[in-house]
Amino acid sequence: MVEPGDPLHATCEEPVFDPLVGEDGAGTLTIAEAAAATGVSTHTLRYYERAGLMRDPVARATSQHRRYSAGDIRWVTFLTRLRTTGMPIREMARYARLAGAGEGNEAERLALLTEHRRRVLERLDEVQRNLAAIDKKIAVYQEIAVYQERIDR
């Protein structure tokens, strides 16, 4: 038995809930449930853990089955934000290592995220510029379509 809601070690990172509440993981999610909750496949969840993206290894039931805490779910959700904005796995691993090391490296984490943000904005701008060029081509084809229509009637 473990008391829930330990008010200690409340870090600024992810509000950590006790991973194993009650007997063998009550209040936690199986890997399939975590997959459903985050939109990431079970394969990928295991892969992410192997790749060092989880700050700390995910808690286990006595059966060795993974038990995802609410904090784990929030963390994975944040990982997906980094991923869909194009951060490479290696860099996510570096961020996870920093976050897993606890307080004291916030400046480094800030720098990492800020630099990522800069690259994302750069990329967004590049895509938008190229899309504008494609839009021009689209406009040309729309002209042709109008012309065809005139012929067809």
Residues that bind its own copies (CB under 8 A): 12, 78, 80-82, 84-86, 106-107, 109-110, 113-114, 116-117, 120-121, 124, 126-128, 130-131, 133-135, 137-138, 140-145, 148
- Contact partners, residue 46, CB within 8 Å, separation at least 6: 31
Is 65 a binding residue for DNA by CB under 7 A? The answer is yes
- What is d(CA 14, CA 109) in angstroms, rounded to the nearest whole number? 14
Report if residue 127 touches DNA, rule: CB under 7 A.
no
Reduced to 3 states, what is the DSSP secondary structure of residue 9?
coil
Count, residues near DNA per rule CB under 7 A = 22
CB of 21 to its own copies, least distance (A): 26
Q: Among DNA, its own copies, none, what does residue 5 contact (CB within 5–8 Å per kind)?
A: none
Residue 130 binds DNA, judged by CB under 7 A: no
CB-CB contact of 68 with 29 (8 Å): yes
Q: Do 63 and 21 form a contact (C-beta atoms < 8 A)?
A: no
Between 43 and 118, name the residue whose CB sits nearer to its own copies.
Answer: 118
Please report which residue ranges of the chain form alpha helices under DSSP H: 31-38, 42-50, 70-84, 89-100, 106-152
**Residue labelled with tokens 């067809």:** 152
Q: Which residues bind DNA (CB under 7 A)?
A: 30-33, 41-44, 46-47, 50, 60-66, 83, 88-90
